[in-house]
Each structure stands twice: as structure tokens, then as C-alpha cells.
Amino acid sequence: MSKSIMIQPAIHMFQFPTISSAGAPEGGDDDDTGLVTQTKVKTKKPSLYRVVILNDDYTPMEFVVFILERIFNKGSEEAYKIMLHVHNHGVGVCGIFTYEVAETKVAQVLDLARRNEHPLQCDMERED
């Protein structure tokens, strides 16, 4: 034999006084109870950072192209152009990212370079 239990949800009714155009609650009460304010939250766009590779005389050009293709998802042609820019100008931009992504990319480049015994340097700069 089973008993059925009936549960009724509790209903809460709140009454807030209406606000007149003057900003005071209507109804003769001059106290501040029931006054509800709402704050608008504006989200700010995150700062962006350029990830740059620095030229050196020891890291092979093929390794720099490999880094650009694997870590920065560049196509072969674009990776080669960036590598030549680094070689000719001393520094080249690999991409522009949010802080956390840029920091991760720099760490990946430095780690891969060290594991392959290359002195390649990579850094990040705040985008203005």
C-alpha cells in the first residue's frame, strides 16, 4: 500500500511601492524601503598583445618556419614571409592575442626552442 504525498510550492509575493516621477515612493510613506536601483555593468575589451620573434645568428630558418606553422597556425607561405622579415629586420610579429594566449604562445616557443637546443627568443608587447 503506497501513500501519495502532495507537495504544494510555496508562493511568495513581494510588493514594492511604485516610484513617482519625483523619485519618492507613492502612498504617503516617506521611508526608503522598497527602493530598488539597478547598476549597469559595462564590460571592457581585453588588452591585446603582439607576440614577436627576435632574430639570432644560430637558429635555422627552417626551425623558425616550423614554429610559425605549428604554434601560430600560419600557412607555409606566410610563415616563410614572417621568417624572412625577422631575418632582415631583426624582429617580426607572429600574431596578436589576449594576454593569456600570448603568454602561452611565448612559453611554447621558448620551450620548443630549448628542447631543440636553439637560442631563439620570443617576447610579447602590449598593443596600443
DSSP label at residue 40: P
pLDDT tens digit string along 81-113? 999 999 999 999 999 999 999 999 999 999 999
DSSP label at residue 37: -
Query: What's the whole-model pTM score?
Result: 0.67
pLDDT tens digit string along 71-80? 999 999 999 9
Mean pLDDT of 6-30: 55
Q: Which residue has the higher pLDDT, 10 or 68?
A: 68
**How sure is the predictor about 35, in pLDDT bands with cuts at 50, 70 and 90?**
confident
* All cell numbers assigned to 57: 645568428
CB-based contacts of 44: which residues, under 8 Å, 6+ apart?
Answer: none
**How sure is the predictor about 4, in pLDDT bands with cuts at 50, 70 and 90?**
low
Mean pLDDT of 45-67: 96
- The mean pLDDT of the chain is 85
